[in-house]
Amino acid sequence: MEAINNLNYANLQPKEIREKIRAEQITWNTSGMCAGYAQANLVILPKAQAYDFLLFAQRNPKSCPLLEVSDPGSRSLKYIAQDADIARDIPKYRVYKDGILEGEFTDVAAFWNDELVSFLIGCSFSFESALLEAGVPVRHIEEGRNVPMYITNIPCVPAGIFSGNMVVSMRPIPHSLVVKAVTVTASMPRVHGAPVHIGDPASIGIKDISRPEFGDAVTINDGEVPVFWCCGVTPQSVVMNSKPKFVITHAPGHMFITDIKNVDLKD
């Protein structure tokens, strides 16, 4: 049996990959697929909760940068992907009822109804590719790990039923490249934008930098500064905190591949 190597999928077009995902020929994580194209986080909520979530995103744009919000009940998208079926074009979904995981599915068409609204949210994959192009190292990629993520003491601005503290991702950056890391990511507000914090982890409530709440710890070398960015886990986490009656998300790492190039997410 051949090992799966996503590099084999780096040069395919987003539409081709989405078709393979829809046909369940691809059921694994999308990391590295369709080089240069933005991937998106997904949250699907009934319209009754969608207003509060849209308001949460408006009030917390760095944590929850919306790339597209579908029309209620629609399974297609209009702006970030053509001919997409949001109920089938992600390799693995998670369905929650009353805050409890119902299961993981490769297709959620069976759960669909006319009230569901899909929120596609920008993802740090896009700015990491910009950092690498600018010569800024991205440690967890170098070390083949997941990015380390931490729960901070920074409250998100609440909106209706949704509230909670900000979750941040951390990348150790050499002193001489910190300013470049800020300016490169600041130019991409639709994928979390500039860092929220540079340096001292304790001042944002992180007790032990070697023990992230999500993802993996990474090496911080002498002469490097931990730099913290808003993270797409925040909206997922505040949605789960509210124990909604029904929600569908992507499974971690199993993203929606858009037709938008990362460079087009620059201001």
Q: Which of 54, 184, 230, 247 binds a second copy (CB under 8 A)?
A: 54
Is 267 a binding residue for a second copy by CB under 8 A? The answer is yes
Closest to a second copy by CB, 159 vs 231, is 159
Is 173 a binding residue for a second copy by CB under 8 A? The answer is no
What is the chain written as a DSSP string? -PPP-GGGGTTS-HHHHHHHHHTTS--S--TT-STTEEEEEEEEEEHHHHHHHHHHHHH-TTTS-EEEEPPTT----SSS-SS--TTTSSS-EEEEETTEEEEEES--GGG--TTEEEEEEE-THHHHHHHHHTT---HHHHTT-PPPEEEEEEEPPPBTTB--EEEEEEEEEEGGGHHHHHHHHHT-GGGT-S-SEES-GGGGT-S-TTS-SBS------TTEEEEEEE-THHHHHHHHHT--SEEEEEPTT-PEEEEEEGGGG--
Least CB distance to a second copy at residue 122 (A): 13
How many residues touch a second copy under the rule CB under 8 A: the total is 18
Is 47 a binding residue for a second copy by CB under 8 A? The answer is yes
Is 199 a binding residue for a second copy by CB under 8 A? The answer is no
Q: Which of 58, 74, 113, 153 binds a second copy (CB under 8 A)?
A: 58
Tell me the window of 20-28, 43-51, 132-140, 238-246 that interacts with a second copy (CB under 8 A).
43-51
Is 157 a binding residue for a second copy by CB under 8 A? The answer is yes
Is 71 a binding residue for a second copy by CB under 8 A? The answer is yes
Is 266 a binding residue for a second copy by CB under 8 A? The answer is no
What is the contact surface with a second copy in residues (CB under 8 A)? 47, 50-51, 54-55, 57-59, 66, 69, 71, 78-79, 157, 160, 186, 189, 267
